[in-house]
Amino acid sequence: MPTISDFTGKVVLITGSSSGIGATTAIEFSRSSAQVVTTGRKAENVTQVANKCHKVSPKGLKALEVVADVTKEDDCRRLVDTTIKSFGKLDILVNNAGKGSHNSLYDSHLMDSYDEVMATNLRSVVYLTHLCAPHLEKTRGNIVNISSVVALGRSREQYDEFLDERAKSLPLGRVGDPIDIANAVLFLASDESSFVTGANLLSDGGSLNA
């Protein structure tokens, strides 16, 4: 029986896996013997992550690379179709691609930015879930959605200051690293959490309790 560190035979599609949390999650799934699909809009970054996945995979599995924009329905269909064509199935979908908005209420482009955020963070999740559900049903697979406890509208400097201050105020005394989220994703996708469904798992260093 697979353990949390053994995803042998599992096909895992992680959106937004060309950087950050998604990249670390893809690498951790690969380290745990999963067959990973890496995707994002920037081909070079997708390839870099795929190479890292290949390096850590105990079975030397090569990640499938798909360059796609999740806000485009054609790209979403191609992403899922290519995955199924390549591996014949899908076990785990991680909806991770997302972006923040740095607009103020007075910004003239506010609604364009709003539409882009909603298309990336919400609409794509609904559409990809719609496309993947029949395949996940067959494998009795699962879906992990990545979200946030905060919505930020800050500059880089303000964000760094925010993180320093935030670390002091968190019960755990530090802000999270991508690996913290990747570990939570692997747990939710594993057999160890097979009785967990529809749950909101907070991996937030105690942020909501601070």
Ligand X SMILES: NC(=O)c1ccc[n+]([C@@H]2O[C@H](COP(=O)([O-])OP(=O)(O)OC[C@H]3O[C@@H](n4cnc5c(N)ncnc54)[C@H](OP(=O)(O)O)[C@@H]3O)[C@@H](O)[C@H]2O)c1
Binding site for ligand X (CB under 6 A): 16-22, 40-42, 45, 69-71, 96-99, 120, 146, 148
Beta 64-67 vs 92-95: how paired, if at all? unpaired
CB of 98 to ligand X, least distance (A): 2
Which residue number, 8 or 163, has a Cβ lying nearer to ligand X?
163
Which residue number, 98 or 141, has a Cβ lying nearer to ligand X?
98
Which residue number, 136 or 182, has a Cβ lying nearer to ligand X?
182
Q: Which residues contact 13 (CB under 8 A, 6 or more apart)?
A: 37, 39, 79, 80, 83, 90, 92, 93, 94, 132
CB of 123 to ligand X, least distance (A): 10
Which residue number, 44 or 191, has a Cβ lying nearer to ligand X?
44
Alpha-carbon span 9 to 189, nearest angstrom: 13
CB of 131 to ligand X, least distance (A): 14
CB of 128 to ligand X, least distance (A): 10
CB of 12 to ligand X, least distance (A): 15
Tokens 């400097």, located at residue: 157
At residue 94, the 3 state secondary structure works out as strand
Alpha-carbon span 176 to 179, nearest angstrom: 8
Which residue number, 40 or 141, has a Cβ lying nearer to ligand X?
40
